[in-house]
Amino acid sequence: MYVFLTGFMFWLSLTVFCLGVIVRTFLYWKGLSWSLDRVAYRAYPLAGFQGALNSVWKWLLPFGTQGWRKQPLMTVFFFGFHIGAIAVPLFLLAHNLILQEKLGFSLATLDQSAADVLTWIVLICALFLVLRRIALPEVRILTTWYDYLILALAVAPFLTGLLARYELGGSSFWLPAHILSGEILLMAIPFTKLSHAFLFFASRAQLGMDYGIKRGGLKGTKMAW
Ligand code: HEM
Ligand code: HEM
């Protein structure tokens, strides 16, 4: 099972992930239409570019936007979840050993206890993200089983990774379970709303352009919108 998961399945999941990211980014780009979106993409490129950068940057900063400031608890859980969700898979020593072996390169690595703490934070914050969906009526009304499925898919590699790490119940079960759940997540990212991990930058940039040009950005100039 381990050989299958770290052999065929590893390559399959990585290929599906990379091709999926490329295809969905290309389709997003191709689908842009200034007349339908009512965003002046080409007319004022510099103002648009500045607006795009500003929007992406502010949303990546904790409490950087009105939206984040209005919901401080959500902001804490959101960043607690996302910092670990991005840093642990990329910089975990065990992952980088596999990267080195399979692809011939590796990234910087996290200290093992830092990885443990970040993983615990991911799990705790995910629990609060679920409770938020149940507790707040304005979020509950928008929530379907699909949102819980996405949360479960995202959390599974963190839970199983930690169980494998502590060797609870024997790592011969949890390690393969972990690798499989990680590979399922990788393949799900491009085709579910988890695609926000890369399309976030596209849609934020697009909205940022709109704000940078039409919605106030060029106020007081002779722009004819
Ligand atoms: C692509 C296939 C993957 C492989 C082959 C893999 C492999 C591993 C290995 C060998 C460990 C160490 C377990 C131990 O110490 O016994 C581990 C731990 C872990 N992995 Fe993965 N993994 C994969 C995907 C992922 C993904 C996609 C995520 C998250 C999105 C993830 C998150 C974690 C976490 C949170 C840990 C435990 C961290 C800690 O030590 O506290 N892994 N993984
Ligand atoms: C640079 C990469 C990423 C960015 C910029 C990003 C950004 C976001 C944003 C803006 C939201 C919406 C928050 C809201 O409801 O207001 C969100 C939600 C979410 N993200 Fe990410 N994300 C990234 C990567 C990831 C990754 C790698 C995972 C999974 C391992 C992930 C899992 C989730 C989940 C499960 C939710 C839904 C939370 C809920 O149900 O409340 N994200 N993300």
* Closest C-alpha residue for ligand 2 atom 3: 197
Q: Tell me: domain 2-23+43-213, CATH 3.30.70, correct? A: no
- Flag whether the pTM goes above 0.75: yes
Least confident among 18-22, 39-43, 145-149: 39-43
Given a contact cutoff of 8 angstroms between Cβ atoms, the answer to whether 212 and 56 are in contact is no
Ligand showing the shortest atom-to-Cα distance for residue 13: 1
Q: What is the pLDDT of residues 97-153, one digit of tens each?
A: 999 999 999 999 999 999 999 999 999 999 999 999 999 999 999 999 999 999 999
Residues 6+ apart with CB under 8 A from 22: none
d(C-alpha 148, C-alpha 160), whole Å: 18
Compute the distance from residue 199 Cα to the ligand 1 centre, in Å.
24
What residue segments make up the domains of the chain, in order of their start? 2-23+43-213
Confidence at residue 224, expressed as pLDDT on a 0 to 100 scale? 62
Compute the distance from residue 159 Cα to the ligand 1 centre, in Å.
10
* Closest C-alpha residue for ligand 1 atom 24: 182
Ligand showing the shortest atom-to-Cα distance for residue 178: 1
